[in-house]
Structure 1
Amino acid sequence: MGEQRPDTVAVVLATPGSAWLANADTTLIDRLTEQLAALPVGDLYVLSGEQGLAEELRQVAKVARASSTPVAVFSGEVVAHTEALAALLEHPSRSAGALIGTGLASMLCTPVRAEHGRVAAAGNSFHQVDSANASFRGVLQVGADQLKALAVVAEELADLAQAGKLGAADEREAADLLLAGLVRSGMPVRAARLGALHCDRAPDQAAADISLLRLAEVDEDRARLDAAIKQDDGFFATYCVSSWSRHLVKIADRLGLTPNAVTGISVGLAAIAAIWFSAGDRQSQLAGSAALYLSFVLDCVDGQLARYTRRFSPLGAWLDATFDRVKEYLVYVGLALGYAAGASMTGTGPGGIWALAVGAMMLQAVRHMIDFSYAGAVTDAAKVGVSWARPHRSLALATDSARNTAAVQRENAIVQLAGKLEGDSVTRWLKKIIVLPIGERMALIAITAGLFNARVTFLALLGWGAVAALYTLTGRIARSLS
């Protein structure tokens, strides 16, 4: 079951004019509040903006200081799919994020630059952005542990607005100013991309009518299912699993299966694969390979189902990560038993098979230690380092250059080369393959065990795994030093 999380506090900036445009027999602001009622939103504040930009920003700061749950800010003229809003509000991280889309859908959608899944720079009529590659769609969320920073930024912007230091920025740009301020303060803001869904900001009635028509052109459920499939997965998972696993997601949803139940079935299939491998004959090896492939398919489906149904929980994430290792090591044991079947067991087993199995386990444990310890260090640095590791950029400066010269100079050759390789699709896939992610490991085990034997499997895992560990360790050190 999913975790019961506290509701988000929503602040709607109902600026005079566009927020009150007609939508059938109601208005855009009414439509938006009805959508929020269907989402995990608790308190709802509608700010009229009649008292000016500075006062509106101060009211946002007041809400942020009083709240203990995430705060979401909406421009009142937003016309969006409910699924688009839910993708931001119901994201499991519950951290800072902003809805962005490609191009400038309307004159109210201000430019941003998104890099590596985050908003690197955000603009408005006052703050300019170089090399913009997307646009902000007027919906922003800030996590519970980031509310103090939101309040500080909102108050600073309010002071600048009152002093007339934000140029011609007006009430309709409050959300844009807040996003720019948060990014400049060093807060990591997730770039929540729309995909096939729509979210626009209507400056006038004609634009509102067009935006509403565009919403009807999209199958929201299909778009939700597409969004549940990871776009940055490994090569094997992308082309040999995710290309068809969406059908299993729909079946699992209809059957009422939870993501944790799918994880359990995946573990069961891995155990069956280990049993087949332990038999040692060719037919059993092939059957074990097929069971292992299906186990990995369901390992992908549990996450896809969680994203599709938005049933996230810390327990589910922990079970998924833990049982990935359990399944893999069960298979190692089954393979070693099968290879040794029928032979007298002395020392490390026939051909040193048990030594190879233990070596493969140890290497995989070291690789995961490298990955998780680095990820933990980055998370810790993000929590404590914003105030000193990344200097605050003044909100009174209008230009936000695309490349800071000092930052580029700090990047070493390895990091620069990695960035260049990321721009080419072939080298990007090669980078994903060389690190031997779980999909490639499962494929390697299934193919070598099915066509050859466990000895070949373990030697392949040790050889490729050593290269992957060296590649990953070099990259982690280089990025830490840049």
Structure 2
Amino acid sequence: MPDSFTTRESTTTSVVLLATTPAARLSCGDGTLLDRITGQLAMLPVNEVQVVTPDGGLGADLRGVAKIARISAGAVAVLPADLVAHAEALALLLEHPAHDTGALIFPNAITGPMRPPVRVEGGKIVAAGSSFHVVPEANATFRGLLQAGESDLGTLADIAEELAELADAGKLGPVTPVEAVDLLLVGLVRSGVPVRAASIGLLHADRVAGQHAADTAVAALADVDEARVRLDTAVKQNDGFFATFCVSTWSRYLIKPAVKLKLTPNTVTGVSVALALLAAVWFSAGTQGGRLLGALLFYLSFVLDCLDGQLARYTRTFSPLGAWADGMADRFKEYAVYIGLAVGSTDPGIWRLAVAATILQIVRHYIDFSYAGAVADAARVGASWCRPARSLLESTDARREITLLSLGQALGRRVVGHWIKKIIVLPIGERTALIAVTAAFWNARVTFLSLLCWGGVAALYQLAGRMMRSAR
């Protein structure tokens, strides 16, 4: 039966802790594995932790989850008490401000006891398995922690009740009570719910079944520096070429000083804007020295633009408002620099070039964001009105097929092709470098012509890509 033992009012995630296996009572230090994980949860921002104790097998455990999901407000996380994990691994889901639907995974397809296979594509889990459900082309394993966002709680409850009926009827074959959370993940994925794949990376998260395995797993935790991993994961992993190799290699060392100074991401964004405005002022001077100093200030402004995101990820204080403000600041800074360059130039046609570069950049952003918005809307409509047909009694996901798009994504992971695709679209980092270098060593005319030529190619590439993806 569920038993609530801790409450925090400031957050929106509740935890269902499945203490339904004998391993939950294994000794660990001065207590048990159950004591250990409840201690970790007490240090994380969750509303409450409800412990489900053994009370009739797998079907009863799943019904307990369904009951809690139906009455909860906010996200609900489900995890077994026999999970031995770094607190930082649990925080990847429980401390994430989005409180979305996700699951802890490790990007390795080598399965084992209580490490069911999953397949991850585009940061989402598209297939999940159990001892009954097979995953073709698995490329990762599920590590025990599942979270359902508030909008998916009804689906979670329906799935848990359906699975309980199937388990009681013996229709899930070799499935055992230890697989309750694995089955819930299978159900969510097969119901079409987008499940974010939260990779633990160098961290550990393993379920254990015996005392020796528990002792080994706990001892392995000490081999990883959690603080270092948190710092590394604060740096965006899928950034542009210039940002990755010319900024993030050293901006990461500014994160901890920023934390000590109690700087917020929005404060860093504000300083970044101020530096860009100073760059525009120096560009407007029209001298070689002014352009050199402007280029340096504009580069430093971009460094802080990267730092605000890194600080947000490190402190887990990012929000939709902050993301919107950051995006608006990027546009404001860039267009302010355009004006500064145009003011400082004596070329009679420079304002036409500046306006053309501005319009091209606006069109490129419209292509990007309108397409992303359309995809998000389509996903929401599809999830609400047209969930894909699925059956929890099918051992293999019948909806899987290899498409040209999947093949293209696989080829795109090749190192050279990956970076070429990153560079060709002229992201904010490459635009910063292009503006700074051309302004510092040539003049505003070269800057705007470079932006128009490269930006035009990028716009055609993006437009062609959107059309091909839509057709597929």
* TM-score of the alignment, normalized to the shorter chain, above 0.5: yes
Partner of residue 280 from structure 1, selected from 271, 274, 286: 286
**For residue 192 of structure 1, what is the aligned residue in structure 2?**
198
Shift of 1:15: 2.1
Instruction: Encode CA deviations 1:109-144: one digit per residue, 9 max, x unaligned.
Output: 111111111111111111011211111000011111
Partner of residue 57 from structure 1, selected from 59, 62, 67: 62
Shift of 1:93: 2.5
Q: Is 1:98 aligned to 2:121, yes or no? A: no
SS of the aligned residue for 1:400 comes to coil
The one-letter code of the counterpart of 1:440 is: E
Partner of residue 361 from structure 2, selected from 364, 376, 379: 364
**For residue 32 of structure 1, what is the aligned residue in structure 2?**
37
**For residue 421 of structure 2, what is the aligned residue in structure 1?**
431
**For residue 90 of structure 2, what is the aligned residue in structure 1?**
85
**For residue 13 of structure 2, what is the aligned residue in structure 1?**
8
User: How does 1:147-226 map onto structure 2 within 5 Å?
Assistant: 147-226=153-232
SS of the aligned residue for 2:248 comes to coil
**For residue 468 of structure 1, what is the aligned residue in structure 2?**
458
Matched residue count: 463
Q: 1:364 to 1:389 in 2, by over 3 A?
A: farther
User: How does 1:106-145 map onto structure 2 within 5 Å?
Assistant: 106-145=112-151
User: How does 1:257-276 map onto structure 2 within 5 Å?
Assistant: 257-276=263-282
**For residue 443 of structure 2, what is the aligned residue in structure 1?**
453
CA distance in 2, matches of 1:453, 1:239: 26
SS of the aligned residue for 2:65 comes to helix
Instruction: Encode CA deviations 1:357-392: one digit per residue, 9 max, x unaligned.
Output: 111111111111111111111111121202555522
Q: Which moved more, 1:9-18 or 1:86-95?
A: 86-95
CA distance in 1, matches of 2:406, 2:143: 31
The one-letter code of the counterpart of 1:17 is: P
Shift of 1:252: 0.7
Contact 1:106 1:201 survives alignment (8 Å): no
Q: Is 1:296 aligned to 2:277, yes or no? A: no
Contact 1:100 1:135 survives alignment (8 Å): yes
Q: Is 1:374 aligned to 2:371, yes or no? A: yes
Q: 1:351 to 1:390 in 2, by over 3 A?
A: farther
Q: Which moved more, 1:181-190 or 1:305-314?
A: 305-314
The one-letter code of the counterpart of 2:393 is: A
CA distance in 1, matches of 2:306, 2:461: 25
Q: Is 1:43 aligned to 2:48, yes or no? A: yes
**TM-score normalised to structure 2 length:** 0.95
Contact 1:111 1:132 survives alignment (8 Å): yes
Q: 1:438 to 1:22 in 2, by over 3 A?
A: same
SS of the aligned residue for 2:173 comes to coil
User: How does 1:352-431 map onto structure 2 within 5 Å?
Assistant: 352-387=349-384, 389=386, 391-400=388-397, 403-404=400-401, 408=403, 415=405, 418-431=408-421
Contact 1:106 1:202 survives alignment (8 Å): no
The one-letter code of the counterpart of 1:469 is: A
Contact 1:13 1:73 survives alignment (8 Å): yes
CA distance in 2, matches of 1:313, 1:52: 40
Shift of 1:191: 0.6
Contact 2:76 2:150 survives alignment (8 Å): yes
Instruction: Encode CA deviations 1:164-210: one digit per residue, 9 max, x unaligned.
Output: 11112121100000001100111110110011211111121111111
SS of the aligned residue for 2:47 comes to strand
CA distance in 1, matches of 2:412, 2:12: 38
* Ranges of 4+ aligned residues in structure 1 off by more than 6 Å: none
Structure 1 unaligned residues grouped into runs of 5+? 341-349
CA distance in 2, matches of 1:400, 1:306: 37
**For residue 319 of structure 1, what is the aligned residue in structure 2?**
325
CA distance in 2, matches of 1:20, 1:105: 25
The one-letter code of the counterpart of 1:153 is: I
Shift of 1:106: 4.8
Q: 1:120 to 1:385 in 2, by over 3 A?
A: same
SS of the aligned residue for 1:74 comes to strand
CA distance in 2, matches of 1:216, 1:5: 31
Shift of 1:416: 6.0
Contact 1:106 1:200 survives alignment (8 Å): no
The one-letter code of the counterpart of 2:460 is: L
CA distance in 2, matches of 1:222, 1:419: 30
CA distance in 1, matches of 2:391, 2:407: 31
**For residue 432 of structure 2, what is the aligned residue in structure 1?**
442
Contact 1:81 1:220 survives alignment (8 Å): yes
Q: 1:105 to 1:245 in 2, by over 3 A?
A: farther
Equivalent pairs: percent with the same residue?
59
Q: Is 1:477 aligned to 2:467, yes or no? A: yes
Instruction: Encode CA deviations 1:240-263: one digit per residue, 9 max, x unaligned.
Output: 111111111111111111111100
Contact 2:203 2:226 survives alignment (8 Å): yes
CA distance in 1, matches of 2:401, 2:435: 45
Q: 1:215 to 1:401 in 2, by over 3 A?
A: farther
CA distance in 2, matches of 1:205, 1:38: 25
**For residue 78 of structure 2, what is the aligned residue in structure 1?**
73
CA distance in 2, matches of 1:5, 1:382: 30
